[in-house]
Amino acid sequence: MTETSPIDLSTLVRLLRLQVRSGADRLDRPVRGGYVGDLLSDVMGNSREGDLWITRQVHPNIVAVASLKDLAAIVLVNGSEPAPETLNKAAAEGIPVLLAEESAFAVAGKVYALIAGAVPTAT
């Protein structure tokens, strides 16, 4: 991926029309990249600090993964509401939880275009 200046969460929330379920006071965090995955060990092993994590998992364990890996935020896709306990943990750990009506594919595509500036084309 092209390295460019990071975009912040509040900009992504506005441009992608995300709903903020937790961490409204932490939307100034920079987003350096992203990772898509529903297998927790995959995300633990392959995500990087400052990544936006796009997933359909809504149970409380996603908060520990985001916190341990210093991820910027969790985006739940397909309009999946987080479990109440997930929001309690997210509030305690200071992890923003965002909600997208769109699919992981659509969210990832838009975030990629915004962070990398443009989708690379073959030459």
Q: In this chain, which of 4, 8, 45, 118 binds other proteins, going by CB under 8 A?
A: 45
Stretch that binds other proteins, among 1-9, 24-32, 53-61, 103-111 (CB under 8 A): 53-61
Q: In this chain, which of 69, 82, 90, 107 binds other proteins, going by CB under 8 A?
A: 69
Q: Does 6 bind other proteins (CB under 8 A)?
A: no
Q: Does 85 bind other proteins (CB under 8 A)?
A: yes
Q: Are 76 and 53 in contact (CB under 8 A)?
A: no
Q: Are 68 and 40 in contact (CB under 8 A)?
A: no
Nearest approach, Cβ of 22 to other proteins (angstroms)?
A: 17
Nearest approach, Cβ of 17 to other proteins (angstroms)?
A: 26
Q: Does 24 bind other proteins (CB under 8 A)?
A: no
User: Whose CA is closest to 74, among 122, 114, 16, 21?
Assistant: 21
Q: Are 14 and 30 in contact (CB under 8 A)?
A: no
- Burial class of residue 71, CB neighbours in 10 A (0-12, 13-18, 19+): buried
User: Whose CA is closest to 65, among 81, 49, 79, 78?
Assistant: 49
Interface with other proteins (CB under 8 A): 38-42, 44-45, 49, 57, 59-65, 67-70, 85, 93
